[in-house]
Chain A
Amino acid sequence: MIQLESITRSFALGKEQINVLNDISLTIHEGEFVAIMGPSGSGKSTLMNIIGCLDKPSSGHYLLNGENVSDYSEKELASVRNRSIGFVFQQFHLLPRLTAVKNVELPMIYAGIAKAERQARAEEALAKMGLRDRMDHLPNALSGGQKQRVAIARAIVNKPKLILADEPTGALDTKTSMSIMEQFQELNREGVTIVVVTHEPEVAEYTNRTIMVRDGRIQSPSVADGR
């Protein structure tokens, strides 16, 4: 599903070039549940941004579902993000002025789905996350765990095959974190490929495989191909 070949990502910092990602090759198969771990500043988020088509690699190839998305235009990448990828962030990133159900509708607005269907699907996704009675609440009126469930509902509502979560439990207490991870596990059982960045081994335990990143490199290449 995800195939990275010799990916590098460098940023220009003044006159210097710093390589945040060095020659990363990585394969994640459809239906996997993967954790990415590593020290702070090692390049995990940078890697996730490339996998999520929010950023482009400086060199190397990225095949998503067999398609070379490194050649895609910005417009095509927006469409890939919209239809094929769901994002979950540490800070939830809900729009504060929109109710839960309106937040969940957002990706469908950009997919050009009609209002009635949008609403029905958003309500369905929220119900699946156990938020049937919180549909019309503004994010402010929700707990951290509930916000993250709204965010997950928003991530799955366009039925993407891939969900990317960058430290989804980073702002949550242990108990809530565990229930969020159970939610991901449930989604993974339904066939969605999930990649989670985390610092916590307890969180990584929910996944099937852990990839260690250090200084922009994958540390144990033996597990990088997923076999």
Chain B
Amino acid sequence: MSFFENLKMALSSLRAHKMRSILTMLGIVIGVGAVIIVVAIGQGGEAMLKTQITGPGNTIEMFYQPSDEEMRANPNILLQAPFKQEDIRALEQIPEVKRVVASSTQMSAARFQKKSIDVSSTGVNQAYLQLNELKVAKGRNLSTADFLGGRRVGLISSKLQEELFKGNNPVGKIITVANQPIEIVGVLEKPSGLLAFGSMEVYLPFQTWKIIYGSSDFTQVTLQAASAEQLQTAGKKAANLLNKMHNTEKSYQVINMEEMAQGIGQVTKIMTLIIGSIAGISLFVGGIGVMNIMLVSVTERTREIGIRMALGATRGQVLTQFLIESMTLTLIGGIIGIFLGWGASGIVSFFAGWPSLISWQVVVGGVLFSMIIGVIFGILPANKASKLDPIESLRYE
């Protein structure tokens, strides 16, 4: 007897007890749906974290980690800015590097009239503007002329505006930073997100910053590559170049993104596995429901089984019939569960601001898995059916 024949038979048996079939399926729908949601959100989160370490616009941060020897030679080395101006110029020569964004930060007092507040004062180079990291809400952004001329202008964070100006428009006002007068030309946007507390910040063109603080060194350097593929190469070349220039072995480094990505992947996989196995328990319970209903069905249909055997059905054919029936039940439940999980993870990710990812592997896996569940939990009832004695089954009331 063909598979198609069996499938039609299974569907008609399931249709004969609609309510019961639907309720049994519900267990599988919920189980598969839950697993799909967990996997979708897990994979989405993993993808999101991976893009976050890569940074927007293919950027990678450089950092300086002095060796023990360097520390012994100069105990204050960590207080000094590790990147020189010629470093930046050299980094800009690397073909894979599109931009070198450099900045330097120091804590200083910012004063307006009588009021003085400690702020972090950051000098940024012009590449900073192109990266579009600083979004201006009020006034204007720093301009090329500001950078080239080393004008005494700056941007302040919205938090600083609140504290220093009580919300009054500060654009055009003069404050002092480290006792040097600075004209405020713009106020930055409030950082978005629940966890982002605003901080007290002033941004100055690096030329200006250099004059105020008397240092032309940078504390932070971020590289931007032309493409994501070139990012790792650009980072490696940059680190090698700086180590050579400073005569250090490996004090200048970039984050090894492959390792990071692997680490993050591992963490999210473990998380997905843990939560997924909890969701899997509901799937298991659903499977037991299927087994239970199939056992009831076999008992109810004892006479049918006897008749089929009298008409020439082999034990194998009876077994197959019931296996396909339970498989059909879980397969339909599984497919509905996949769609439901898809929809639900979409809703969850919409509210959590977290992408969800349903790959075709997950869909195919889900379909296969629900079929396997049908086989696992159907084998006992189907076996029971195939072991029935035809004569006794025909007598069964």
**B310 close to A54 (CB less than 8 A):** yes
Q: Does A55 contact B (CB under 8 A)?
A: yes
- Bound together, the chains give a CA A89 to CA B396 distance in angstroms of 13
**A110 close to B16 (CB less than 8 A):** no
Contacts A95-B304, A110-B1 given; indicate if A82 touches B390 (C-beta within 8 A).
Answer: no
- Bound together, the chains give a CA A164 to CA B148 distance in angstroms of 108
Pick from A82, A89, A95, A110: contact of B394, CB under 8 Å: A89
B253 CB, min distance to chain A CBs, angstroms: 71
B297 CB, min distance to chain A CBs, angstroms: 12
Q: Does A79 contact B (CB under 8 A)?
A: yes
Pick from B16, B316, B394: contact of A75, CB under 8 Å: B316
Contacts of B309 in A (CB 8 A): 54, 78, 81
**A110 close to B311 (CB less than 8 A):** yes
B305 CB, min distance to chain A CBs, angstroms: 11
Pick from A49, A74, A83: contact of B314, CB under 8 Å: A74
- Bound together, the chains give a CA A109 to CA B391 distance in angstroms of 21
Pick from B306, B315, B317: contact of A110, CB under 8 Å: B317
Q: Does A111 contact B (CB under 8 A)?
A: yes
Q: Does B303 contact A (CB under 8 A)?
A: yes
**A106 close to B390 (CB less than 8 A):** no
Pick from A75, A79, A106, A111: contact of B308, CB under 8 Å: A106
Number of residues on chain B facing chain A (CB within 8 A):
22
- Chain A interface size, as a band, is 20 to 34
Chain B residue nearest in CB terms to A74: B315
Q: Which of B303, B311, B390 is the most central at the interface, judged by chain A CB atoms within 10 Å of its CB?
A: B311
Q: Does A154 contact B (CB under 8 A)?
A: yes
**A54 close to B391 (CB less than 8 A):** yes
Contacts of B313 in A (CB 8 A): 78, 110
**B12 close to A154 (CB less than 8 A):** no
**A81 close to B1 (CB less than 8 A):** no
**A109 close to B315 (CB less than 8 A):** no
Chain A residue nearest in CB terms to B312: A82
Contacts of A87 in B (CB 8 A): 310-311
**A79 close to B307 (CB less than 8 A):** no
Interface of B is mostly: helix
**A49 close to B391 (CB less than 8 A):** yes
Q: Does B69 contact A (CB under 8 A)?
A: no
Contacts of A109 in B (CB 8 A): 1, 5
Question: A residues 53-102 with Cβ under 8 Å of B?
Answer: 54-55, 74-75, 78-79, 81-83, 87, 89, 93-95, 97
Contacts of A81 in B (CB 8 A): 309-312
Pick from B5, B16, B390: contact of A97, CB under 8 Å: B16
Contacts of B303 in A (CB 8 A): 93
Contacts of B307 in A (CB 8 A): 93-95, 106
Q: Which of B310, B313, B314, B390 is the most central at the interface, judged by chain A CB atoms within 10 Å of its CB?
A: B310
- Bound together, the chains give a CA A97 to CA B311 distance in angstroms of 17
- Bound together, the chains give a CA A106 to CA B304 distance in angstroms of 11
Contacts A54-B391, A55-B391, A89-B394 given; indicate if A107 touches B315 (C-beta within 8 A).
Answer: no
B396 CB, min distance to chain A CBs, angstroms: 11
- Bound together, the chains give a CA A105 to CA B313 distance in angstroms of 13
Question: A residues 22-68 with Cβ under 8 Å of B?
Answer: 49, 52, 54-55
**A78 close to B16 (CB less than 8 A):** no
- Bound together, the chains give a CA A154 to CA B312 distance in angstroms of 12
- Bound together, the chains give a CA A95 to CA B315 distance in angstroms of 18
Q: Does A14 contact B (CB under 8 A)?
A: no
Contacts of A201 in B (CB 8 A): none
Contacts A93-B303, A97-B12 given; indicate if A75 touches B314 (C-beta within 8 A).
Answer: yes
The proximity string for B residues 75-103 relative to A, scoring 1 for CB distances below 8 Å and 0 otherwise, is: 00000000000000000000000000000
Chain A residue nearest in CB terms to B303: A93
B383 CB, min distance to chain A CBs, angstroms: 15
Pick from B16, B304, B312: contact of A111, CB under 8 Å: B312
**B304 close to A107 (CB less than 8 A):** no
A86 CB, min distance to chain B CBs, angstroms: 9
**A78 close to B314 (CB less than 8 A):** yes
- Pairs A–B under 8 Å by Cβ, sample size 29: A54-B309, A55-B391, A78-B312, A79-B312, A79-B314, A81-B309, A81-B310, A81-B311, A81-B312, A82-B311, A82-B312, A83-B312, A87-B310, A89-B394, A93-B303, A93-B306, A93-B310, A93-B394, A94-B307, A95-B304, A95-B307, A97-B12, A97-B13, A106-B308, A106-B311, A107-B312, A110-B311, A110-B313, A111-B312
Chain B residues packing against A (C-beta within 8 Å): 1, 5, 12-13, 16, 303-304, 306-317, 390-391, 394
Please list the 5 inter-chain residue pairs (A to B) with the smallest Cβ-Cβ separation, ordered nearest first.
Answer: A82-B312, A110-B312, A78-B314, A107-B311, A81-B312
